Amino acid sequence: MPQLKLSYFDMHGGRGEPVRLALAVGGVAFEDHRLTFAEFGGLRKTVPFGQLPVLEIDGLAVTQSDAMLRYAGKLSNLYPADAYQALLCDEVSFVVEEAGIKMGPTFRMAGEEQKAARLALVNGSMPVYLAWLQKRLIAQGGEYFADKRLTVADLKVFIDVRSLNSGRWDHVPTDLVERVAPALNAHMQRVAEHPAVAAYYAKFKPA
């Protein structure tokens, strides 16, 4: 097994969290290097494209979170071997990634500019992608997005929906998912109750 080091911000969300979670669920050993935003400022020039996450594999730094997630899924047996099921898994992951790309610029905004930009998403593309994810989930039986079992696609959606519901994103209603795609909330709860997922997050709960 290669030596793995995943560098990402110290938070339970964002692009690096599904990769962390996949490795943890699969019992794959890795160094979980967590950074504050201030610490990253000093390291920005040393990482590919000046961004996180970065996965080091035997010392080689790899970028692109969806590529990392697929790799982590293969190591963790959370990525389908069947080509069609793998396609469904990738499709879901890329839809969530596209939604994140639309949201990304709003984190560099403030005040009325941020409010207007996020409300435009809340009233525009966000309900569209959430409804599409719900439709895809139901088409696959209603429990998982591919392969009739937990895959990295489920982890990617789980992190996204949990973030939308958290209240941490100003101007994004915490009941948006429930109003638009309630099956995704049921899916989120199902993933949260998976023993390996629950065990991972239990490590971070205060004593």
Check pLDDT > 70 for residue 66.
Answer: yes
Indicate the residue type of 36: T
Question: For residue 26, which amino acid is it?
Answer: G
**What's the CA gap between 7 and 105, in Å, rounded?**
22
Give the residue among 133, 26, 9, 132 at the shortest CA–CA distance from 69: 26
DSSP β-ladder status, 54-57 and 4-9? antiparallel
* 20-53 confidence digits (pLDDT tens): 999 999 999 999 999 998 888 888 888 889 899 9
Sign of CA dihedral 98, 104, 105, 111: positive
What pLDDT is recorded for position 131? 98
Q: How many CA atoms lie within 13 A of 54 on its CB side?
A: 20
* Mean pLDDT for the stretch of residues 194-203: 95
How does residue 198 score in pLDDT terms, banded at 50, 70 and 90?
very high
206 — pLDDT class (breaks 50, 70, 90)? low
CB 38 within 8 A of CB 63: no
Question: What is the average per-residue pLDDT within 78-105?
Answer: 97
Segment 47-76 mean pLDDT: 95
Its CATH architecture, for the domain 4-77, is 3-Layer(aba) Sandwich (3.40)
Q: Provide mean pLDDT across the span 155-169.
A: 96
User: Model confidence at 130, in pLDDT bands (50, 70, 90)?
Assistant: very high
| Positive or negative: CA dihedral 111, 114, 117, 119 | negative
How far apart CA 32 and CA 200 sit, in angstroms, is 12
Does pLDDT of 207 surpass 60?
no
Alpha-carbon separation of residue 169 from 15, 161, 162, 183 (angstroms): 15, 12, 11, 21
Instruction: DSSP for 42-99, please give it.
Output: HHGGGSGGG-S-EEEETTEEE--HHHHHHHHHHHHT-S-SSHHHHHHHHHHHHHHHHH
For residue 13, which of 120, 136, 157, 152 has the smallest C-alpha distance?
157
- For residue 34, the surrounding DSSP H or E stretch is strand 31-35
Confidence of residue 157 (pLDDT cuts 50, 70, 90): very high
Q: What dotted CATH number matches 83-193?
A: 1.20.1050.10
The domains of the chain are located at 4-77, 83-193
